[in-house]
């Protein structure tokens, strides 16, 4: 054997040894990889929202029904992304959401509390249009240009007022025109609202339109009662309502302001609790507009303290509302807010913006430094890691309102909502509905659906829905006794919901 042949054989032998060595040495590494991957995914699932909950056997059976429906819906969306409902504008998706098996399950679910909703936007479009606008003594003016509605005994001379009922007898387009003034509904929102400013302009115009006729005291009372009824029928058992406490009026000229309006809220709440004793209750968050002068702001603080003094168990606290991008930042009010009485809790809208490094998203910094109890929206929260640390350390709940964020131009596809990271890391999150009538929604189920199917993981299951409900009780302003009652009522309803769902097994088409 010559030298060249010997070298060739040696190279071959070394290659064989190398291959065998690779197989022998690296085979355990391959096995460890799959174990590592499995452990990695288990760790992520345990860390995610609801991952720290354990389901009982009877809950597991119900979970199978829920997850079969959810996986089918998401997997269909993966095959045809354009059909995935949370990626669509809510105005386009709403009717299809109502046909969703997951949505129908969520409708039956006891949801706990609504902790972020605004006074004159909680009642369905159907009731306002087909009930309230058909009441006696309602007048209309300028129906073809800039419609106005208001109740009168005898109309004033500021406009050419006509009884709405009389106008309806002459024209068949009246309801369509009124509806257009009361909703943001647009099948092509990109054209209707090219940016958030355009969306907010329409949004605020609706409040301006509805205020003169909704603030007629008997109507205001009926409207609030109806809002509670719609929430109750959607399996909500408690409400914390943001209100500007608008001035109310009677036809004889009597006006009601601030504390008087709050007492009217309490009177209606007490009547509702008598009619529906398994509803836990209501608390008000006094929330005037943030775009105010210093002298107005100081007056707001005095009103908040007086409200708390006269109605200590009914008033939860204080907030400032309105478009953050255009309103004054919290830092301008910091000194006054630091001086407010300790018994007036703070609940700040903050971070409802796409901007970064501006005074607008820095509202989040001031909110936590001012000891806010909860953060309204917190859309920009991920851009402030120190704020995120404080949110977790202080257990400050983030009030997420998916549909509101989409309609008002912060996010088009809810799969891209920043709350996905909050759910992934098990932050203290509650889901609320903000202003459901503005987008022709009703109750809380739509926002629960969008969060559960569109924002949370595909693997998020019944534990996540359970945690959403329990969070809404835990992070509420209810006292210890009220929370105990709320949890007892919720547990009874939860058991019935789960048993009913379990009995369906895989037959979700019957839901």
Q: How confident is the model at residue 19, as a pLDDT?
A: 45
Q: Is residue 455 part of a domain?
A: yes
For residue 257, being part of any structural domain is answered with yes
The answer to whether position 1 is within a domain reads: no
**379: domain CATH number?**
3.20.20.140
* β-strand pairing of 248-249 with 255-256: antiparallel
- Our answer to whether residue 306 is catalytic in this structure is no
* Model confidence pLDDT, tens digit, residues 263-272: 999 999 999 9
Residue 3 has pLDDT above 50, yes or no: no
Report how far residue 196's alpha carbon sits from residue 219's, in angstroms, rounded to the nearest whole number. 32
In this prediction, residue 41 carries a pLDDT of 87
Whether 415 has a pLDDT exceeding 60, the answer reads yes
Does residue 364 belong to any structural domain of this protein? yes
Beta carbons within 10 angstroms of residue 382's beta carbon: 16
Contact status, residue 238 vs residue 476, Cβ threshold 8 Å: yes
CB under 8 A, 24+ apart: contacts of 263-270? 263/310, 263/311, 264/217, 264/220, 264/221, 265/224, 265/241, 265/314, 266/311, 266/314, 267/221, 268/221, 268/224, 268/225, 268/228, 269/228, 269/314
DSSP conformation class of 321: B
Q: Which residue has the higher pLDDT, 10 or 246?
A: 246
Q: How far is CA 388 from the centre of its chain?
A: 19
Dump pLDDT digits (tens) for 303-319: 999 999 999 999 999 99
3-state secondary structure 225-257: HHHHHHHHHCCEEEEEEEECCCCEECCCCCEEC
Residue 511 has pLDDT above 90, yes or no: no
Q: If you compute the radius of gyration of the chain from its CA atoms, what whole number of angstroms results?
A: 27
Mean pLDDT, residues 124-141: 97
pLDDT at 12 over 70: no
**Interval 65-109: pLDDT, tens:** 999 999 999 999 999 999 999 999 999 999 999 999 999 999 999
Tell me, yes or no, whether 511 lies in a domain.
no
pLDDT band, residue 23 (cuts 50/70/90): very low
Is residue 496 in a domain? yes
Structure tokens at 24: 């022998």
Asked if the model's pLDDT at residue 158 lies above 70, the reply is yes
pLDDT at position 35: 87
- If one counts the domains in the chain, the total is 1
Catalytic annotation present for 352 = yes
Name the pLDDT band for 439 (thresholds 50, 70, 90). very high
Task: Label residue 507 by pLDDT band (50, 70, 90).
Answer: low
For residue 34, being part of any structural domain is answered with: no
Decide: pTM greater than 0.85: yes
Pairwise CA distance, residues 280 & 352, whole Å: 30
Q: Is the pLDDT of residue 11 over 50?
A: no
Confidence of residue 46 (pLDDT cuts 50, 70, 90): confident
* Residue (of 203, 208, 210) closest to 150 by Cα position: 210
DSSP E strands in 420-503: the ranges are: 429-431
* Torsion of the alpha carbons at 451, 456, 461 and 467, rounded to the nearest 10: -70
User: Domain range for residue 91?
Assistant: 74-118+222-500
Question: Among the options 59, 73, 352, 474, which is catalytic?
Answer: 352
Read off φ and ψ for residue 398, nearest 5 degrees: -100, 120
From residue 434, give the alpha-carbon distance in Å to each of 170, 180, 290: 37, 20, 17
Query: Is 70 exceeded by the pLDDT of residue 22?
Result: no
| Rounded mean pLDDT, 132-156 | 95
For residue 135, the tally of other CB atoms under 10 A from its CB is 15
Q: What angle do CA 226, 227, 228 make, to 5 degrees?
A: 90
The CA distance from 321 to 243, in Å, is 9
pLDDT band per the 50, 70, 90 thresholds, residue 24: very low
Supply the mean pLDDT for the chain.
92
E-strand ranges in 74-189 read 112-118, 138-141, 148-151, 162-163
Q: What pLDDT shows up at residue 20?
A: 45
- Taking only the tens place, the pLDDT of each residue in 213-263 is 999 999 999 999 999 999 999 999 999 999 999 999 999 999 999 999 999
Residue at 242 is within a domain: yes
Catalytic residue among 116, 377, 384, 417: 377
């Amino acid at each position: 054997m010559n030298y060249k042949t010997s070298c060739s054989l040696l190279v071959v032998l070394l290659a064989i040894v190398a291959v065998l060595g690779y197989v022998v040495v690296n085979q355990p590494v391959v096995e460890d990889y799959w174990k590592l991957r499995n452990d990695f995914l288990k760790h992520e699932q345990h860390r995610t929202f609801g991952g720290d909950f354990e389901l009982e056997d009877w809950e597991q059976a119900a979970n199978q029904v829920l997850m079969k429906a959810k996986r089918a819906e998401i997997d269909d969306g993966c095959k045809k992304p354009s059909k995935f409902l949370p990626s669509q504008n809510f105005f386009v998706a709403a009717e299809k959401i109502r046909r969703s098996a997951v949505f129908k399950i969520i409708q039956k679910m006891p949801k706990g509390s609504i902790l972020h909703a605004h006074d004159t936007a909680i009642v369905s479009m159907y009731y306002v249009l087909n009930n309230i606008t058909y009441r006696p003594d309602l007048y209309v003016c300028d129906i073809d240009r800039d419609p106005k509605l208001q109740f009168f005994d005898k109309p004033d001379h500021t406009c050419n007022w006509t009884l709405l009922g009389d106008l309806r007898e002459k024209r068949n387009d009246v309801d369509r025109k009124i509806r257009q003034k009361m909703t943001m509904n647009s099948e092509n929102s990109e054209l209707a609202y090219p940016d958030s400013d355009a969306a907010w302009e329409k949004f605020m115009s609706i409040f301006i339109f509805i205020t003169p006729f909704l603030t007629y005291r008997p109507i205001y009372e009926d409207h609030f009662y109806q809002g509670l009824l719609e929430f109750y029928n959607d399996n909500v058992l408690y409400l914390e309502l943001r209100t500007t406490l608008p001035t109310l009026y009677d036809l004889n000229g009597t006006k009601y302001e601030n504390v008087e309006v709050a007492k009217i809220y309490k009177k209606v709440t007490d009547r509702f609790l008598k009619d529906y004793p398994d509803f836990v209750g209501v608390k008000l968050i006094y929330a005037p507009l943030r775009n105010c002068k210093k002298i107005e702001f100081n007056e707001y603080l005095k009103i908040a303290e007086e409200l708390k003094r006269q109605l200590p168990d009914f008033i939860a606290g204080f907030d400032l509302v309105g478009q953050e991008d255009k309103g004054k930042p919290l830092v301008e009010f910091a000194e006054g807010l630091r001086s407010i009485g300790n018994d007036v809790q703070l609940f700040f809208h903050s971070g409802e913006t796409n901007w970064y490094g501006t005074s607008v998203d820095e509202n989040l910094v001031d909110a936590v430094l001012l000891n806010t109890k909860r953060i309204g929206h917190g859309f920009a929260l991920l851009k402030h890691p120190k704020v995120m640390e404080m949110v977790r350390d202080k257990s400050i709940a983030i009030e997420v309102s998916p549909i509101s964020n989409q309609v008002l131009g912060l996010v088009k596809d809810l799969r891209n909502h920043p709350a996905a990271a909050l759910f992934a890391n098990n932050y203290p999150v509650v889901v609320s509905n903000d202003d459901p009538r503005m987008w022709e929604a009703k109750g809380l189920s739509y926002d629960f659906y969008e969060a559960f199917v569109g924002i949370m993981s595909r693997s998020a299951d019944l534990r996540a829905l359970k945690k959403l409900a329990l969070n809404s009780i835990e992070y509420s302003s209810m006292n210890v006794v009220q929370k105990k009652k709320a949890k007892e009522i919720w547990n009874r309803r939860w058991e019935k919901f789960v048993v009913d769902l379990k009995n369906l097994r895989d037959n979700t088409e019957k839901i």
